Structure 1
Amino acid sequence: MPLCRRADLVNVQFLVLIFLCINVLLIVTICSKAHFYTTMRYMLFGVTVLSDSLILIMSDILVILNHFNVTMNIAFCVCIYITLVVFTFVTPVTLTAMTLERYVAICKPLRHGELLSSVPCIIVLSNFFATAPFSLYSQHRLCLIGIFVLLRWQDDVKLVVYQCYFLIMSATICFSYVKIMKVAKDASGEDKKSTRRGLRTLVLHSFQLLLCLIQLWCPFIENAVLQINFKLYVEIRFFDYIMFYLAPRCLSPLIYGLRDKKVSLALKQNALFGFHRPNVQNSI
C-alpha cells in the first residue's frame, strides 16, 4: 500500500525542491564569506543546513521508491539507512550545540560549547545489522527500517538510546533557557536588547528541536498503531514524515538564516548574482 496519495506526493516534491534551493543558496553564502565559515555559530548552522539538505534528498527518494513499490538490495538499503540515521541525529545534536553556543555567548562569552557525540547511535545500529542473517542482505525488498528489527530487544535498546538523547537535549535546552532568561532580567540597554534577541532565537531553536525529538518517538507510536489498523498506520506514518521529519529540516533557513541580518544581506547578494552589493562587512 502506498505511503500517501499521488497528489500528496507531488506536493511534497514542491516543498522539498523549494527548500533545497534555499539551502543550497545558504550553503554557498556561508562558504563565500570568511566571517561565516570562521565563526562557530555560522559553522554550526552550515552543518545543520548541509545535513538537512542530504536528509531531504535521500528521504524523498526513499518515499518515491516506496510509493511505487520499488525494491532494492538489502545491503544497499543498509548503507542508505546508516547515512540517514547519522544525519538525522546531526540536526538535533547540532541544534543543541547551537543552543549551548548562545548560552556561552551570552552567559559565559570566554568559554565554548562542545558538540555531543553520535557514537552510541552508531553502536546500536551496528548491533541491529549484525544480528540479521547474512542471507537477508542478498534479498530485494522495500527499504524500511522495520525489516532490520528482528528481535524484541532491538526495539527496547533503540527506545533506551532515543530516550537518553531526548532527556539530554531537553535538559540542555531548559538549562540554557533559564540561564539566558536570568541574564536578560539583569541586563540593560543594548545588552538587554541583544540578550532578548538571543532568547527569541533560543525559543525558536527549542521548537525546532522539539519536532526533531518527537521524531525519535514516531517509530514506536507507528508500531503500536500498526498492530491495530494498517490504514491508520499509513496515514500516521505520512503525517509523521511531513510534521516531524520534513518540517524541522525546512525550518532551519527560516529560523536562523533569513532572521540573521548578516546572512540575509549576503544571501540577497548571492540570490541577485552580485547585482545587489550590501556593505556586509560594516554590518558585521
Structure 2
Amino acid sequence: MADNMSLVVGKSLRQQLRHQVIVLHILVMTFLCINLLLIVIFFKKCFYTTTRYILFAVTLLSDSLIIILSDVLLLMTHFKFTIQIGLCIVLYFPLALYTLVTPVTLTAMTLERYVAICMPLRHGELCSTRNTNYCILIIHGLSSIQCIVVLSIFFTSASLSFYQQNILCSVEIFILYKWQSHVKSAINQFYFLIMFILIVSSYVKIIKVAKTASGENKKSTWKGLRTVILHGFQLLLCLIQLWCPFIEDAVFQINLLLYGQIRYFNYITFYLAPRCLSPLIYGLRDEKFFLALKDYVLCGFVKNGSICVKS
C-alpha cells in the first residue's frame, strides 16, 4: 500500500514538474522577446544619451541574462544533467552578480528621478553620460561583493576532491555550512536595507516638492513619484525573494508536492515578476519610449514607409 502511494506521488510530481517547465518556458520566451524589442528600440532611437534610459537598458540586459541563466539551470536540474564544478562556478558568478545588479540599478534610477525633480538645476551636471558610465561601473562593483564573498568562503572550505565531481549545478552547492548561508543572507539584507532607505527618503522628498509644485511642474513631479513607487514595489518583490528559501525549506519537511507548488509560485512571483515590471515602467508608461515603441512596431508591420518617423 505504501509503495503504491509512493508511486502515485512520484508520478503526480513528475507530471506537475513537466507542466511547470512548459509554462515557465512560455513565460521566459515572452519576456525575452519583449526585452529584446525594447533593447533594439533603445539603440535605434538614440536613447543612449539620457541617463534614465541608459540605466533602463542596464536593467533590461541584466534581467534578460538572469532569465536565460536561471532557465539553463532549471533545464539541467529537470533533465538531471551534471557538469563539473568549474563550469558551475562560471554559470553561478554572472547569475549571482546580475541578481543584485537589477535592484541596485533600480535604486540608481530612483536617485536620478530625485535629482531631476528636487535638484533640476544640477540634473544635467550630475546625470551626464560620463557620470552615468561611472555609475554603471559602481553598480557592478557593489553588486559583485556578495558573490565574491560567497565564492571566497567556498574556495577556502571545499576539499580538493569536491572539484573533481560532476554535480547538478545550483546556487545551493556553494553553501557547504549553515553559517555560510547566514553570511550570504546578512549581506543581502544589508544591501536591501540601504536601498529601501534610499527609495523611501527619495519618495518623501519628492512628495514635498510635489505639494509645492504647480501646473506642468506638478504633473511631471507626480509622474516621477509614481515611478519611484513602482521601483519600490519591484525592490520589495526582490527582497521577499530572499525569504523564499526559508519558507521552501520548512514546506519541504512537511509535503513534497506542496513544496513543488510553493517553489514554482515563488519563482514566478518573486523572481520573474520584478523583472517584468521594468518594461512596464519605461516601455509603456514613459511617453517618449512608448511613442518610439509604437513607431517601431508600426514600421515593422505596415509596408508604407510614410508612417515611419526617422529618429
The correspondence for 2:146, drawn from 101, 115, 121, is: 121
The correspondence for 1:76, drawn from 80, 87, 106, is: 87
Q: Counting helix residues as a fraction of each chain, which structure ranks higher?
A: 2
CA distances 1:138-189 after superposition (whole Å, capped 9, x unpaired): 2122112222211122012112101101211111111011011111011111
The correspondence for 2:39, drawn from 8, 27, 31, is: 27
CA–CA distance in structure 2, aligned partners of residues 226 and 136 of structure 1: 26
Matched, 1:49 2:75: no
Asked whether the equivalents of residues 25 and 271 of structure 1 are also in contact (C-alpha less than 8 Å), the reply is no
Within 5 A, what are the aligned runs for 1:104-115? Answer: 104-109=115-120, 110-111=122-123, 112=126
- Quick one: structure 1 residues 4 and 106, their matched pair in 2 at CA, closer, same or farther if it must change by over 3 Å? farther
Q: Which residue does 2:51 correspond to in 1?
A: 40
Unaligned runs of 5+ in 1: none
TM-score, with length taken from structure 1: 0.91
Within 5 A, what are the aligned runs for 1:228-243? Answer: 228-243=254-269
Aligned residue for 1:5, secondary structure, equals helix
Deviation at 1:227, TM superposition (A): 4.3
With 124-133 and 225-234 compared, the bigger mean Cα shift is at 225-234
Q: Which residue does 2:172 correspond to in 1?
A: 146
CA–CA distance in structure 2, aligned partners of residues 205 and 227 of structure 1: 35
CA–CA distance in structure 2, aligned partners of residues 176 and 216 of structure 1: 24
Within 5 A, what are the aligned runs for 1:1-284? Answer: 5-34=17-46, 36-109=47-120, 110-111=122-123, 112=126, 116=139, 117-130=142-155, 131-273=157-299, 275=305, 276-278=307-309
CA–CA distance in structure 2, aligned partners of residues 107 and 59 of structure 1: 39
- Quick one: structure 1 residues 123 and 251, their matched pair in 2 at CA, closer, same or farther if it must change by over 3 Å? same
CA–CA distance in structure 2, aligned partners of residues 44 and 32 of structure 1: 16
Q: What is the one-letter code of the residue matched to 2:201?
A: F
With 40-49 and 106-115 compared, the bigger mean Cα shift is at 106-115
TM-score, with length taken from structure 2: 0.83
Asked whether the equivalents of residues 84 and 165 of structure 2 are also in contact (C-alpha less than 8 Å), the reply is yes
Deviation at 1:133, TM superposition (A): 1.9
Unaligned runs of 5+ in 2: 1-12, 128-134
CA–CA distance in structure 2, aligned partners of residues 4 and 272 of structure 1: 40
Asked whether the equivalents of residues 83 and 168 of structure 2 are also in contact (C-alpha less than 8 Å), the reply is yes
CA–CA distance in structure 1, aligned partners of residues 28 and 241 of structure 2: 18
CA–CA distance in structure 1, aligned partners of residues 71 and 294 of structure 2: 28
Over aligned residue pairs, what C-alpha RMSD do you find?
2.1
Deviation at 1:225, TM superposition (A): 3.5
Asked whether the equivalents of residues 2 and 69 of structure 1 are also in contact (C-alpha less than 8 Å), the reply is no
CA–CA distance in structure 1, aligned partners of residues 168 and 242 of structure 2: 21
CA–CA distance in structure 1, aligned partners of residues 253 and 84 of structure 2: 27
- Quick one: structure 1 residues 101 and 249, their matched pair in 2 at CA, closer, same or farther if it must change by over 3 Å? same
Q: What is the one-letter code of the residue matched to 2:276?
A: C
- Quick one: structure 1 residues 42 and 226, their matched pair in 2 at CA, closer, same or farther if it must change by over 3 Å? same
Deviation at 1:198, TM superposition (A): 0.6
CA–CA distance in structure 1, aligned partners of residues 15 and 203 of structure 2: 38
Answer with 1 or 2: which has the greater Rg: 2
Aligned residue for 2:285, secondary structure, equals coil
Deviation at 1:92, TM superposition (A): 0.3
